[in-house]
Amino acid sequence: MYRLAAAQLDQTAERMGLDDNIWERLRTPQRALVVSFPFRRDNYATVDTVFGYRVQHLLTMGPTKGGIRYDLDVDLGEVTALSIWMTWKCALMALPFGGAKGGVRIDPHSLSRSELQRITRRYTSEIIEMIGPDTDIPAPDLGTDEQVMAWIMDTYSQQKGHAVPGVVTGKPIEIGGSHGRREATGRGVVTCLLEACREIDLPPSGASMVVQGFGQVGAAAARIAVQHGAKLVGLSDVSGGVFAPGGIELAEVDRHLAESGHLRGLPGTEPCTNEALLELPCDVLIPAAVQNQLTEKNADRIRARLVVEGANGPTTLEADAILAERGVTVVPDILANAGGVTVSYFEWVQGLQQFFWSEQEVNDRLIRLMQRASKDVWGVSRQRGVGLRVAALMRGIERVAEAKRRRGIFP
């Protein structure tokens, strides 16, 4: 993943004629911390060694900001790539943050609630010198949620001796979270989807849609897109995919998930693998699970007209080229899933002011910022004759480069 993030930067920097010195600086993170710690299982006899990471890519723009993921694939390269994308995302959205990311190499689904809490508290105490409301502010990502953020906030606050809600975003509302944060990434995905539909003359109402991943991002995106008239025909989670050309009822999905905990066996649908799901005939495909899903192996079989990247890094460079050649429009991750960090920014601002907004206010502001960024990226793409990904990267990178030039070099 790091190689993908670096190659995207290189490709864009070359096209932009970016200053070599700034280019070189942006290829590597400013700070990276790797920790290992003992973790006692509920049975008390077993103690595992667990690895955790926190990477801050760029400290030029303000505090750093980025999620924490719990996943077995987490490593330094992955977390670094994600921190680099956070930098471009924040700059593209004109948010006053640099990029960061963190992660713990565990399978969160194999842990009890108390195990998850112990890991979270120990990981927080291991990275405590790096995070803080003015320095580096974590948020939820793959495998983490509001509850994990609440434990991080509590652990940090215990060490400081007073409540510090601003140390994380994506918190529960009761401890300073923002209305609308839970659905923010999905709402941003759908705002970009609607903007793209307008650009490519695809009526969103009645458009058939496939969503990979039914977590925080995928579930919210599916729900909001359906409210705009899209027809959900395929859906998946880690257990596999389901499809129904006549449409999948979200109420039925909720009922089935509450009973079984997974999508497999959803009544009224046919089963399919996650690989086959991506190749289903549809107008819109939303990868909202994990990275490296659209590759040179399957890009020529993707039948969607429009791909909106809910996940980070779902498309490889090779697949990008194949999809572009085939006329498939890809709305890139750093734009499409920027709704999460945007409402995280709103949460941070509300916390600093101790003045909280209504859900309507949060959603309206989010949609306005997402539309502005979308139009900006489509405009750059047209003006400079580049694809949407390169256009979004150009916008982000040029803002960062200009800030670096203004600040100069110390000493």
User: Which residues does the annotation mark as catalytic?
Assistant: 101
Residues paired with 64 in a beta bridge: 98, 136
In contact, 263 and 235? CB cutoff 8 Å: yes
**Which is closer to ligand NAD, CB of 23 or CB of 85?**
85
**Which is closer to ligand NAD, CB of 145 or CB of 249?**
145
Alpha-carbon span 319 to 299, nearest angstrom: 5
Alpha-carbon span 315 to 309, nearest angstrom: 8
Instruction: List contacts with ligand NAD (CB under 6 A).
Output: 140-143, 185, 212-218, 236-238, 274, 288-290, 310-312, 337, 340
Least spacing, CB of residue 13 vs ligand NAD, in Å:
24
Least spacing, CB of residue 274 vs ligand NAD, in Å:
4
**Which is closer to ligand NAD, CB of 332 or CB of 351?**
332
Q: Which residue is nearest to ligand NAD (CB)?
A: 215
Least spacing, CB of residue 141 vs ligand NAD, in Å:
5
**Which is closer to ligand NAD, CB of 18 or CB of 86?**
86
Question: What does the DSSP 8-state code read for residue 86?
Answer: H
Least spacing, CB of residue 249 vs ligand NAD, in Å:
18
The pair of structure tokens assigned to 36 is: 């290992």
Distance of CA 287 to the CA centre of its chain: 11
Alpha-carbon span 348 to 176, nearest angstrom: 9
Cα–Cα distance list, 219 to 110, 139, 251, 253, 291 (Å): 22, 18, 12, 10, 17
In contact, 102 and 126? CB cutoff 8 Å: no
